[in-house]
Amino acid sequence: MDQRRAVPLGVALLALVGCVTTGGQAGGPGGDEGGGSRQIGAPAPAIRVESMSGKALALDDYRGKVVLLDVWASWCAPCKQELPMLDDMARRLRGDGIEVLAVSVDQERANVVKFLKARPRWSLTIAHDPKGEIADRLAPDKMPTSYVIDRAGIVRYVNSGFEPSDAAVIERRLVEVARR
């Protein structure tokens, strides 16, 4: 079967819309106005994925912690910039009860593994969702999209797309939610 045709429709549309609306660039911290804004203040959906080590993960497992849930893909140029910055952030903020869960919607696990070889060790938790179910459930406007989720499981901020200046905004939002 031609692998290009096997990409889940939601993921394919997300990639197309993200590239067309941003010219391949991310939307930045002002990106909250899109579809993600309807999720702010709502409970994060029940999400189950598999970590790269094969462990089953559920978003509910993180209750009591502030979570940055990042939806990304190895073929997404802004994602390639963002993920190392989020990894640095995860290492700095873990002691404050903040966890970073980065979920790849790549269809092929090998593409995720290849991307991850860019660093010898990752501090954030990386999971794989080859069926694109997380993208279907969350319907992010752009790739990547990050969701700041509070200790009670409520989405507090959404960052659609990514530009390098977004890293400081995302970190500030995480710390702000953790201090509440």
From the list 104, 112, 103, 109, the residue with the least C-alpha distance to 149 is 103
User: Is pLDDT of 67 > 60?
Assistant: yes
Which of 54-58, 64-68, 120-124 reaches the highest mean pLDDT?
64-68
Q: Express each pLDDT in 4-59 by its tens digit.
A: 334 443 444 344 334 333 333 333 444 444 445 678 999 999 989 989 888 999 99
Confidence at residue 119, expressed as pLDDT on a 0 to 100 scale: 87
Instruction: Examine the pLDDT at 68 and tell me if it is beyond 90.
Output: yes
Which residue matches tokens 């391949």? 24
> What is the structure's pLDDT at 141?
87
Pick the closest to residue 100 from 128, 66, 74 (CA basis): 66
If DSSP states are collapsed to H, E and C, what string results for the chain?
CCHHHHCCHHHHHHHHHHHHHHCCCCCCHHHHHCHHHHHCCCECCCCEEEECCCCEEEHHHHCCCEEEEEEECCCCHHHHHHHHHHHHHHHHHHHHCEEEEEEECCCCHHHHHHHHCCCCCCCCEEEECCCCHHHHHHCCCCCCEEEEECCCCEEEEEEECCCCCHHHHHHHHHHHHHCC
| The pLDDT value given to residue 37 | 64
pLDDT at 87 over 70: yes
Q: What is the pLDDT of residue 18?
A: 41
pLDDT in tens, 123-173: 999 999 988 888 888 888 899 999 999 999 999 999 999 999 999 999 999
Q: Would you call 38 exposed, middle or buried from its count of C-beta atoms within 10 A (0-12, 13-18, 19+)?
A: exposed
The structural domains of the chain, ordered by start, are 3-178 (3.40.30.10)
- pLDDT of 82 higher than 50: yes
| pLDDT given at position 101 | 96
Q: What is the pLDDT of residue 36?
A: 57
Distance of alpha carbon 42 from alpha carbon 106, whole angstroms? 27
Side-chain-side CA neighbours of 28 within 13 Å: the count stands at 6
**pLDDT score of 169:** 96
- pLDDT surpassing 80 at residue 62: yes
